[in-house]
């Protein structure tokens, strides 16, 4: 590990911590409808949108069933529209690249992917999707899928904080508020800063360039409304790039500063969600504790990834390659990385993008060392609760928290309670479902892919690597991450459909049980804390919750990981 890599990591986490707390407060105020200063600025837009929503947004508070139904209906309608747009893009304007409509299964996969906040891309965007589809379809759902996650978190937090109520808030109001007051302004600012760094923002098709070598691949570089889409793809844990190379592409991520800011944007809102939760349940210590849990898991894994990428590859050392860091080079394993970010900058991003369910990349994950691959897989297999998606990270962590509170509560001899509310069989069932189903989707999806020729035949590499690729694909899909290990012909029918199912399971089979859990907690009485109750903000409980997340993840995926990256790791060490 080099000093510069550690300094980058330290600076990043410090910035996240400093910015996330006030942003979380602000988020909570937006959801509580207490954002006075901001209302003056964005109030007119909010009122316009709410007027368009009409009666639906006027109803004061929805039950959990009502909230879930509105959320599902909205997302389903989004998928249909997005599917239609992608299929019909050839007939619509703003298609300077003259791209054809997407084939049905690919359009389905893409629509599901963007609406579920996964942004798994089974295509090369710049050569497949028109500007209109990028801007009016994909970028719009970059906003709305993030807003969906945040709205769900707000509703769930209201349930945890509720006193004798059945209402979790109004989905339409939450959706409009968080989009208008949080996502739009943040994206606007980030997009402008990115443009200042050289990220392109244009409606024209291509910029012709003179190739250095006559035989070079293209003589034109595709342009487009990039900065506006990159900003929200990073902020909203979406990760779907304008270019196939994603944030490794110089037009998406040109400078070390843009790299730092985009990396910060990956973690910012998921981290802020912890603090927002604390503010929404009127116990800020709980928010800080959730953030601490995430940090406790993230920090060591990030260091493993940094160390793995910075280490020398024995086989390369034997052929006389100097991989050591020195005054003239960053050192480390540079295959599949941009030299302007170096091994450290890429490893840090890889850890951040898989911890948060972002999935954007600034290097090729397929070229990561096995140690870093293990980290990326592991971070996703925690169920994307270490930062995780915007909103979804925190409510996913709450499912683990219910289990941890249950066990810790028993161990101190009390019926388990969180925020003064008893957790009983129903909560247990719902939390178990929210953890079980995405994990099952990963395990079963991978198993089917291994067993049927359509899945097993799509791998382009031999042995353990092939298995890692399949496992990574389903892990990424079912946890709504969206990054890929590549090496897999993901455009095949089996994977487009299989991963679409995994993405749907991973998104809605967490949201709905957690909304139901919040619904049942909302009408429960809360007992004031006493010296005998479990303090869920104490360091001891933070460690216990982190251990619960890690142990559940490890027990579920250890055999699969052993067959993939762990074997690769030992092979690499032995070579």
Partner 1 sequence: MTRESAERADTRRTLYARRPPAAVQLAAAGREALRKLDPRVLHHNPVLFVVATGAALTTALWLTALAGRESETPASFIGGIAFWLWLTVIFGNLAEALAEGRGRAHAESLRRTRAQTTALRLREPRTDAARDEVAAGDLRRDDVVIVEAGGIIPADGEVVEGAAAVDESAITGESAPVIREAGGDRSAVTGGTRVLSDRLVVRITAPAGEGFLDRMIRLVEGARRQKTPNEIALGILLAALTIIFLLVSATLVPYSGFVARAGGQGGAVDLTVIVALLVCLMPTTIGGLLSAIGIAGMDRLLRANVVATSGRAVEAAGDVGVLLLDKTGTITLGDRQATAFVPAPGVAARDLAQAAQLASLADETPEGRSVVVLAKEQFGLRARELSPGDAVFVPFSAQTRMSGIDVDGHTLRKGAADAIAVFLAERGGALPAEIRAGIARVAKLGATPLVVADGARALGMVVLKDVVKGGLQLEFEEMRRLGIRTVMITGDNPLTAAAIAAEAGVDDFIAEAKPETKLAEIRRWQQAGHLVAMTGDGTNDAPALAQADVAVVMNSGTQAAKEAGNMVDLDSNPTKLLAIVGIGKRLLMTRGALTTFSIASDIAKYFAIIPAAFAANCPELGALDLMRLGSPQSAILSAVIFNALIIVALVPVALRGVSYRPAASAVLLRRHLLVYGLGGLILPFPCIKLIDLLLGFLGIGGVA
Measured from the CB of residue 512, what is the shortest distance to partner 1 in angstroms?
Answer: 17
Give the integer Cα–Cα distance in Å for 327 and 462.
Answer: 38
Q: Is 425 in the site for partner 1 (CB under 8 A)?
A: yes
Local structure of residue 221 (DSSP, 8 states) = E
Instruction: Identify the residue among 185, 415, 460, 489 touching partner 1 (CB under 8 A).
Output: 415
Q: Is 554 in the site for partner 1 (CB under 8 A)?
A: yes
Q: What are the residue ranges of helices labelled H in 412-484? A: 425-451, 453-456, 463-478
Binding-site size for partner 1 (CB under 8 A) equals 70
By beta-carbon proximity to partner 1, the closer residue of 215 and 451 is 451
Q: Is 567 in the site for partner 1 (CB under 8 A)?
A: yes
Q: Is 369 helix (H, G, I), strand (E, B) or coil?
A: coil
Measured from the CB of residue 196, what is the shortest distance to partner 1 in angstroms?
Answer: 48
Q: Is 526 in the site for partner 1 (CB under 8 A)?
A: yes
- Using alpha carbons, select from 346, 374, 373, 377 the residue that is nearest to residue 8: 346
Q: Is 220 helix (H, G, I), strand (E, B) or coil?
A: strand
Give the integer Cα–Cα distance in Å for 307 and 302.
Answer: 9
Query: Is 278:290 a contact under the CB 8 Å cutoff?
Result: yes
Residue reference for tokens 């007027």: 51
Q: Is 423 in the site for partner 1 (CB under 8 A)?
A: yes
Measured from the CB of residue 291, what is the shortest distance to partner 1 in angstroms?
Answer: 21
Instruction: Identify the residue among 510, 544, 545, 549 touching partner 1 (CB under 8 A).
Output: 544
Of 28-36, 79-87, 341-349, 559-567, which part binds partner 1 (CB under 8 A)?
A: 559-567
Residue 310: count other Cβ atoms within 10 Å of its Cβ: 24
- The answer for residues whose C-beta is within 8 angstroms of residue 95's C-beta and 6 or more apart is 89, 130, 131, 132
Measured from the CB of residue 558, what is the shortest distance to partner 1 in angstroms?
Answer: 5
Instruction: Identify the residue among 420, 486, 492, 493 touching partner 1 (CB under 8 A).
Output: 420
Query: Is 482:359 a contact under the CB 8 Å cutoff?
Result: yes
Q: Is 216 in the site for partner 1 (CB under 8 A)?
A: no
Instruction: Identify the residue among 64, 123, 406, 509 touching partner 1 (CB under 8 A).
Output: 406
What part of residues 435-474 is at the interface with partner 1 (CB under 8 A)? 435-436, 439-440, 443-444, 446-448, 450-451, 456, 459, 462-464, 466-467, 470
Instruction: Identify the residue among 112, 534, 545, 549 touching partner 1 (CB under 8 A).
Output: 534
Distances, alpha carbon 245 to alpha carbons 251, 365, 383, 483, in Å: 10, 11, 26, 11
Q: Is 535 in the site for partner 1 (CB under 8 A)?
A: yes
What part of residues 305-334 is at the interface with partner 1 (CB under 8 A)? none
Query: Is 399:510 a contact under the CB 8 Å cutoff?
Result: yes
User: 3-state SS of 103-116?
Assistant: CHHHHHHHHHHHHC
Q: What are phi and psi of 549, to 5 degrees?
A: -60, -45
Measured from the CB of residue 326, what is the shortest distance to partner 1 in angstroms?
Answer: 31
Give the integer Cα–Cα distance in Å for 102 and 95.
Answer: 13
Q: Is 207 in the site for partner 1 (CB under 8 A)?
A: no
Measured from the CB of residue 514, what is the shortest distance to partner 1 in angstroms?
Answer: 15
Give the integer Cα–Cα distance in Å for 267 and 280.
Answer: 20
- Chain residues binding partner 1 by CB under 8 A are 403, 406-416, 420, 423-425, 427-429, 432-433, 435-436, 439-440, 443-444, 446-448, 450-451, 456, 459, 462-464, 466-467, 470, 525-528, 530-535, 538, 540-541, 544, 547, 551, 554-560, 562-563, 566-567, 570-571, 574
């Amino acid at each position: 590990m080099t000093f510069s890599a550690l300094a980058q990591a330290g600076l990043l986490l410090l910035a996240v911590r400093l910015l996330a707390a006030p942003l979380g407060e602000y988020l909570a105020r937006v959801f509580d409808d207490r954002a006075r200063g901001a209302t003056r600025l964005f109030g007119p837009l909010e009122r316009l949108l709410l007027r368009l929503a009409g009666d639906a947004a006027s109803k004061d508070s929805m039950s959990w069933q009502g909230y879930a139904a509105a959320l599902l209906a909205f997302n389903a309608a989004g998928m249909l529209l997005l599917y239609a747009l992608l299929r019909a893009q050839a007939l619509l304007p703003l298609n300077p690249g003259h791209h054809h409509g997407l084939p049905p299964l690919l359009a389905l996969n893409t629509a599901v992917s963007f609406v579920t906040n996964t942004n798994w891309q089974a295509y090369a965007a710049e050569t497949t999707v028109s500007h209109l589809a990028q801007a009016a379809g994909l970028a719009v759902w970059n906003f709305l899928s993030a807003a969906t996650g945040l709205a769900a978190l707000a509703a769930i937090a209201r349930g945890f904080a509720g006193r004798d109520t059945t209402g979790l808030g109004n989905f339409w109001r939450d959706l409009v508020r968080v989009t208008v007051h949080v996502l739009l302004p943040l994206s606007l600012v980030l997009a402008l800063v990115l443009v200042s760094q050289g990220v392109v923002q244009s409606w024209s098709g291509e910029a012709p360039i003179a190739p250095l070598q006559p035989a070079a691949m293209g003589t034109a570089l595709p342009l487009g409304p990039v900065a506006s889409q990159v900003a929200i793809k990073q902020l909203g844990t979406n990760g779907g790039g304008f270019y196939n190379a994603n944030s490794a592409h110089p037009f998406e991520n040109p400078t070390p500063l843009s790299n730092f800011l985009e990396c910060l944007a990956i973690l910012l809102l998921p981290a802020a969600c912890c603090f927002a939760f604390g503010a929404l349940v009127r116990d800020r210590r709980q928010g800080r504790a959730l953030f601490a849990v995430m940090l406790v898991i993230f920090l060591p894994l990030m260091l493993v990834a940094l160390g793995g990428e910075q280490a020398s590859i024995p086989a390369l050392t034997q052929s006389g390659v100097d991989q050591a860091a020195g005054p003239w080079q960053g050192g480390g394993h540079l295959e599949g990385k941009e030299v302007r970010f170096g091994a450290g900058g890429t490893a840090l991003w890889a850890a951040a993008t898989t911890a948060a369910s972002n999935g954007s990349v600034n290097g090729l994950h397929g070229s990561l060392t096995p140690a870093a691959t293990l980290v990326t897989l592991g971070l996703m297999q925690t169920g994307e609760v270490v930062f995780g998606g915007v909103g979804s990270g925190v409510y996913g962590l709450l499912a683990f928290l219910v289990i941890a509170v249950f066990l810790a509560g028993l161990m101190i001899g009390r019926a388990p309670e969180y925020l003064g509310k008893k957790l009983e069989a129903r909560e247990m069932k719902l939390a178990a479902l929210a953890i079980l189903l995405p994990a099952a989707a990963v395990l079963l999806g991978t198993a089917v892919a291994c067993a049927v020729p359509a899945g097993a035949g799509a791998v382009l590499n031999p042995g353990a690597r092939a298995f890692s690729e399949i496992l990574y694909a389903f892990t990424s899909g079912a946890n709504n991450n969206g990054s890929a290990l590549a090496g897999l012909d993901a455009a095949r029918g089996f994977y487009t459909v299989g991963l679409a199912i995994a993405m749907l399971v991973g998104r809605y089979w967490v949201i709905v049980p957690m909304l139901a859990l919040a619904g049942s907690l909302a009408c429960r009485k809360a007992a004031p804390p006493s010296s005998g109750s479990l303090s869920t903000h104490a360091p001891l409980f933070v460690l216990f919750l982190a251990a619960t997340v890690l142990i559940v993840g490890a027990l579920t995926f250890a055999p699969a990981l052993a067959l993939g990256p762990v074997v690769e790791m030992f092979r690499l060490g032995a070579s």
